[in-house]
Structure 1
Amino acid sequence: MTSAAEPTPPPAGGVLWSLAGDIRGLLMLPAALTLQVAHPAVGAGVDDHSVFRTDPWGRGERSLRSLQLWVYGGEAAAEEGRRLRRLHRTIRGTDTRGRPYHALTPAHYAWVHATGFPVYQHASRYLVRPLTAAQERALYREWLQVGRILGIHDRDMPPTIEAFRPYYRRMLAEEVEATAVVRELVAVDARVPPPDRGPFLVRLLLRALWPVVLPPLARFRRFLTIGLMPAEAREAIGLAWTPRQERRLRRFGAVVRRTVPLLPERLRYLPLARAARAEWRSGRGFRPRPGGSAPSV
């Protein structure tokens, strides 16, 4: 059992429980990552210390597993939070504005986490369905709970969704910019190596076809990254978005909304989420605490 002294994952059956493990969440992640690194300190830390250029597939896999543990990991969630804090202790330097940064500076660490909420809120309108006011409030409460797992103190995050809005507007107005890492993440000519994991024959085929596959894949990634980022955020960063692109995104979202719910659970949910959902249904674990559940999406 998880110790009472340790932070616990958000409740089973809640809003985040439904969103985080759904394969549609994979389409939302690039927008959240790009908004994170639009902060000069976060962008500099990633630029200076991350292996996203040399090992993009490995880094992506590790980041995705980490996120899944925060929500579906049970007692492993708190240990994953401690591991991440240990990993970030030595990440420090100077950002593009000449300011010293440290990855665990509360304001920087909180921003990395905070970006997930507006991206989930915005992208769900296209790929899942718009969240109700009650679901948005529940999602924010659950996101604060995940923040505690990561070691973010309550005093470093706005305590309510109402308090989040002015904080978010201030960060967009005063901090975010098109950092070097942002420009790299939305570039259509990025040098990304072919996948180095997965079934051998698939990797072999992709390696052969990669010069043909990469350009349209890069364009699609840019399209989703910018489109699934909240409008006020992409405007603050200076990422262009046209009415024609908006119409394309709405058409794409309509197809995704209709198609994904028809998939069997083994294809719709990521492995950790699928296992957690099965355990919850069987009554072996992941039971929501009284008053902790929220409407599913």
Structure 2
Amino acid sequence: MSHVAAPSPPPPGGVLWSVVGDVRELLMLPAALALQVAHPAVAAGVDEHSVFRTDPWGRGERSLHSLQLWVYGGEEAAREGQRVRRLHRSVQGTDPYGRTYHALSPDYYAWVHATGFPVFQHALHYLARPLTEAQERRLYAEWLQVGRVLGIRERDMPPTIEAFWPYFRRVLADEVEETAVLRELIALDAPVPPPGLGPLPVRALLGTLWPALLPSFVRIRRFLTIGLMPPEARAAIGLDWTDRQERALVRLGRVVRAVVPVLPDRLRYLPLAREARRAAGLSGPARRARRRRRTSGRCP
């Protein structure tokens, strides 16, 4: 009996290694999640089986850690991908239109993963720098590789970037909508509980200040969710975005692009990514020396 090798995560030094562990990813994730739940079947699964209402911070932390493992986890990446699939085996039910769904149905499972690529591609225009054509192709190839880690078969996602965009536009035209879960994620009156993360004194302070902080938090979350969603996705779902908001997003992007690259690694990269980059020689003095030698074609 032949042994089938576990799928490998993207290699060190790729585009994803520059994007997924960077703190700017935290600004992109709400748009990706919103695009996922714009699909009625995905929204139904999240509505009925997720703790996004009662424990949004814990859910977000666990999802972020899982994503880091898919990219930076080495041999652990495949095990994490298997764990994610096991977790979704029981996620099934009926969507608002009376159609049965299962989280591991190839179309739905692939859509959840596929949304990351257009959100990364669009958000980097504002928060980092636009990808070159070669970087876009590499990003898509690496995202497909992460899909293999998650158990997505080759036939379930477009094999090339040229095939991806017609697929993406077809799903936008035929399947996505402003679902009830999506409306909750961008609502300005959303009853978001205070963060339950960090040391006890920090949690206590946030709990005390949260009623005053919540209105600003939900406004910023809505702004980033809609603004960093690809424009054709916004249009397909029916989300409004004004010229004034676009100018504000451009200004925010300028600040982020100026500040984040000069941060020390301990502030710029999330912990798992920081350790993996250090082990691969991509941080600290080695990274700075390579950066000085580069003259073009840099990753974000």
The normalised TM-score by structure 1 is 0.94
In structure 2, what is the equivalent of residue 36 of structure 1?
A: 36
Shift of 1:282: 8.3
CA distance in 1 between partners of 2:28 and 2:270 (Å): 14
Shift of 1:52: 0.7
CA distance in 1 between partners of 2:237 and 2:59 (Å): 24
In structure 1, what is the equivalent of residue 185 of structure 2?
A: 185
Q: How does 1:171-210 map to 2 (within 5 A)?
A: 171-210=171-210
Could you give the per-residue CA deviations for residues 248-284 of structure 1, whole angstroms, max 9, x where no partner exists? Answer: 000000000000011000000000000000100189x
Contact 2:34 2:182 in 1 (8 A): yes
CA distance in 2 between partners of 1:282 and 1:268 (Å): 13
In structure 1, what is the equivalent of residue 158 of structure 2?
A: 158
SS of match in other structure, 2:41? helix
SS of match in other structure, 1:129? coil
CA distance in 2 between partners of 1:296 and 1:74 (Å): 21
Compute the RMSD of aligned alpha carbons.
Answer: 1.4
CA distance in 1 between partners of 2:4 and 2:84 (Å): 21
CA distance in 2 between partners of 1:4 and 1:87 (Å): 22
CA distance in 2 between partners of 1:197 and 1:262 (Å): 27
Cα–Cα, structure 1 residues 181 and 282, in superposed 2: closer, same or farther, change >3 Å? closer
Contact 2:131 2:299 in 1 (8 A): no
CA distance in 1 between partners of 2:298 and 2:89 (Å): 37
Q: How does 1:88-167 map to 2 (within 5 A)?
A: 88-167=88-167
In structure 2, what is the equivalent of residue 296 of structure 1?
A: 299
CA distance in 2 between partners of 1:219 and 1:11 (Å): 37
Could you give the per-residue CA deviations for residues 77-127 of structure 1, whole angstroms, max 9, x where no partner exists? Answer: 000000000000011011122211000000000000000000000000000
Instruction: State the number of aligned residues.
Output: 285
Shift of 1:235: 0.8
In structure 2, what is the equivalent of residue 258 of structure 1?
A: 258
CA distance in 2 between partners of 1:56 and 1:224 (Å): 17
CA distance in 2 between partners of 1:117 and 1:196 (Å): 30
In structure 1, what is the equivalent of residue 8 of structure 2?
A: 8
SS of match in other structure, 1:240? coil
Equivalent residue letter for 1:198: G
SS of match in other structure, 1:241? coil
Could you give the per-residue CA deviations for residues 225-262 of structure 1, whole angstroms, max 9, x where no partner exists? Answer: 00000000011111100000000000000000000011
CA distance in 2 between partners of 1:103 and 1:59 (Å): 17
Q: Does 1:281 align with 2:284?
A: no
CA distance in 2 between partners of 1:237 and 1:171 (Å): 11
SS of match in other structure, 2:203? helix
CA distance in 2 between partners of 1:52 and 1:282 (Å): 35
The normalised TM-score by structure 2 is 0.93
Could you give the per-residue CA deviations for residues 132-183 of structure 1, whole angstroms, max 9, x where no partner exists? Answer: 0000000000000000000000000000000001000000000000011100
Equivalent residue letter for 2:71: V
In structure 1, what is the equivalent of residue 54 of structure 2?
A: 54
Identity across the alignment (%)? 72
Contact 1:38 1:177 in 2 (8 A): yes
Contact 1:15 1:295 in 2 (8 A): no
**Higher mean C-alpha deviation, range 90-99 or range 45-54:** 90-99
Cα–Cα, structure 1 residues 25 and 282, in superposed 2: closer, same or farther, change >3 Å? closer
SS of match in other structure, 2:280? helix
In structure 2, what is the equivalent of residue 288 of structure 1?
A: none
Structure 2 portions without partners, runs of 5+: 284-296
Equivalent residue letter for 1:67: L
Could you give the per-residue CA deviations for residues 12-33 of structure 1, whole angstroms, max 9, x where no partner exists? Answer: 1000110000000000000000
Contact 2:121 2:136 in 1 (8 A): yes
Equivalent residue letter for 1:137: R
Contact 2:81 2:149 in 1 (8 A): yes
CA distance in 2 between partners of 1:61 and 1:166 (Å): 33
